[in-house]
Structure 1
Amino acid sequence: MKPFLLSLCLIAVSTQTVSADRCPAAPDHSAGLNQLIQEIQKVQTEGAARDISGQMWGLWADAPNEQAQAILDQGMSKRSSWDLTGALQDFNRLVEYCPDYAEGYNQRAFVHFLRHDFASALTDLDRAIVLSPKHIAALSGRALSLMGLGRTQEAREALIEALALNPWLPERGLIDAGGRLAPTGEEI
């Protein structure tokens, strides 16, 4: 009987250790994001829109715990200094550790995009959007990746979807007359 109880205790301890190594759920910022989306749709100046966009980024970049935050911050720092290989390694670790955290996929997609690996970027962006359907940066990144793949109509539709949430996106000029995603001919 004692060996059986000892086995149960070891299983319980190992289960606790494994769960302690798991990434917790990402913070739910949906209410705050929805509020910011409503605000950005009403502002009259690009400066005000930029401030709200910064607040959105603050929500998306709020990682599930300190470990995930450290990996995210390190990867973003490497990406900013154009260490794309190092950034990709960090974001791979983040996605492996926190598979339900949308920003890990969005940031990894950005690195893929910078490397002109649009197909890989699109895969990660699609996952980020499944996890966070109103992730405006992922939606606009999806449009840019589709454009990079030459899938113009899909890119236009993706950008229109992103602009419905944030009409102030810098990419908005792409669908204006003369823009790379502007409707042509009978589509107008």
Structure 2
Amino acid sequence: MKLKLIALCFFAAPAFAQCPPVSDITGQIEQLAAEARTAENEMAGRAVSDQMWQLWLIAPDEPAQEMLDAGMRARTSYDYHAAIEAFSRLIDYCPAYAEGYNQRGFIQFLRQDYEAALVDLDAALARSSNHVGAQSGRALTLMNLGRIDEARVQLREALENNPWLSERALLNEGAPLAPVGQDI
């Protein structure tokens, strides 16, 4: 009986735990965006982009990091159901942490549930307005919803923060988000 009580307390503890305040990385991301804008070439720009992702992928505490990592492992193995569950637990635990919403939005995008993806990406951007990953993901989602003008505007905003995004090719002549008259 004593062992059952200890096990119950151990497994129930995360449900009662609170996520600590989310670190404000806005200044660091803005500095990296400035570095991306002045990068001499794509390789240097991509290196800066990787640094942005390193910041976004630091969860507020160890339980949150475990949930984030579990969701990303599930995504890597194409277990989208488990990934959504992990990211949903993360969002429930740390509702102020933008990356939980961004990652769940990405899974919804991969599942082609664009409306749900848009809700999550909007939530991510409400918490971290300069999250380039959420900005570019939102542009792709809007494009897939047929909201081309909004997608074009959103992608341009993402490119202001990081001109080296691979999605920039979508604005080229003949591409889906090319300026009116230059699109397909």
With normalisation by structure 1, the TM-score equals 0.87
Pick from 69, 74, 82 the counterpart of residue 86 of structure 1.
82
Distance 1:117 1:21 in 2: 31
Alignment of 1:1-188 (within 5 A): 21-185=17-181
Determine helix, strand or coil for the equivalent of 2:35.
helix
Letter in 2 for 1:109: G
CA RMSD of aligned residues (A): 1.8
- Go from structure 1 to structure 2 and tell me whether the alpha carbon gap of 1:78 and 1:41 turns closer, same or farther (over 3 Å shift): same
Q: CA deviation at 1:19?
A: 10
Q: Kindly indicate whether structure 1 or structure 2 has the higher relative contact order, using CA contacts under 8 Å at least 6 residues apart.
A: 2
1:28–1:20: structure 2 CA closer, same or farther, 3 Å change rule?
A: farther
8 A Cα contact 2:105 2:118, kept in partner: yes
- Indicate conservation of the 8 Å contact 1:41/1:167, yes or no: yes
Q: How many residues align?
A: 171
CA radius of gyration, larger in? 1
Structure 1, residues 58-95: CA drift from partner, whole Å, max 9, x if none? 11111010000000011011101111111011001001
* 1:34 Cα deviation after fit: 1.2
Do the aligned partners of 2:174 and 2:182 also contact (CA within 8 Å) in 1? Answer: no
Task: Kindly state the Cα deviation for residue 20 of structure 1 after the two structures are TM-superposed.
Answer: 6.5
Q: Which runs of 4+ in 1 moved over 4 A?
A: 17-20
CA distance in 2 between counterparts of 1:59 and 1:18 reads: 24
Q: 2:130 is paired with a residue of what secondary structure?
A: coil
Q: 1:20 to 1:27 in 2, by over 3 A?
A: farther
Query: Taking every aligned residue pair, what percent have the same amino acid on both sides?
Result: 50
Residue 12 of structure 1 aligns with which residue? none
Structure 1: gaps spanning 5 or more residues: 1-16
Summarize deviations over 1:38-64 as a string: whole Å, max 9, x none: 100001211111111111001111101
CA distance in 2, matches of 1:166, 1:33: 10
Write the distance in 2 (CA, Å) between the matches of 1:62 and 1:141: 19
Of the structure 1 ranges 28-37 and 85-94, higher mean CA displacement relative to structure 2 is found in 28-37
